[in-house]
Amino acid sequence: MSISSQAELDGMTAVSKAVAYTLKMMREYAKPGMSTKTLDDYGKQILEKMGANSAPYLTYKFPGYTCISVNNEIAHGIPSEQRILQNGDLVNIDVSAELNGFWADNGGSFILGDDLQGLQPLVSASKRILYKAIHEIHGGVKINEIGGLISREARRSGFTVIKNLVGHGVGRGLHEAPHEIPCFHDRHNRAKFKINSVVAVETFISTKGTEAFTDQNDGWTLKGIDGTFVAQHEHTILITDSKPIILTLGNEIWN
């Protein structure tokens, strides 16, 4: 969406704070031995206390209130009583919600407990690359230039990017124009970031492979080729003529 009034900015600020706080608290609440369903229920309670509605549930009837992906799951992981978190797991939590007609989206990957799988460099690279990419965005910048930056930084760190998962516009709906903000230089995407628009920018940094595939067993969970690990980090931002306003900064994914 394009922000054209103080009321719209206030609405986007409120929903962004809700999703950011929920993500932060869920990350802190996660413990080895806990089911992903228990973690999801905790996130649902926080959203409800803030008056917000789960975006994936509201929009797609997703079988959960947040997406929780573990280890080789890339995104859209379904919370489950049977999925028990373990020390050393790579965990991704993605929280998006609606509040008073406004929508925001954010997410982050982290190592639960000890880095037993040696994946902290992957997580750190994803966070660092998102920070660099976001701080290069302002009105008039080509979307494919930011995608090129993300993929170059990934290669320099020894990783690849997932090409078929993308950032997107957000605001009056969960997915709006621009519909694709990819993690690579797409020469066919000639769109530019527009001043006063709101977008969700995200990184999908991969240990190997460049494509996510839908798990046919549940129809939701996205995975890569065998053995792929992916770290994702995401912020909802307001684009200006200089540095963007990071509306979900409160999720503390960069801390």
CA 12 to chain centre: 17
φ, ψ dihedrals at 67, nearest 5°: -100, 125
Report yes or no: 206 and 161 within 8 Å, Cβ to Cβ.
yes
Question: Does 76 belong to an annotated binding site?
Answer: yes
Q: Cα(159)–Cα(206) distance, rounded to whole angstroms?
A: 6
Question: Does 202 belong to an annotated binding site?
Answer: yes
Q: Cα(134)–Cα(92) distance, rounded to whole angstroms?
A: 20
Question: Does 185 belong to an annotated binding site?
Answer: no
Q: Which residues contact 148 (CB under 8 A, 6 or more apart)?
A: 184, 185
Nearest-CA neighbor of 255 among 119, 127, 90?
127
Question: Does 226 belong to an annotated binding site?
Answer: no
Nearest-CA neighbor of 69 among 35, 89, 93?
93
Question: Does 188 belong to an annotated binding site?
Answer: no
Using alpha carbons, list the distances in angstroms from residue 120 to 30, 64, 130, 164.
17, 27, 15, 24
Question: Does 135 belong to an annotated binding site?
Answer: no
Question: Does 94 belong to an annotated binding site?
Answer: yes
Cite the annotated binding site for substrate by residue number: 76, 175
Cite the annotated binding site for a divalent metal cation by residue number: 94, 105, 168, 202, 234
Cite the annotated binding site by residue number: 76, 94, 105, 168, 175, 202, 234
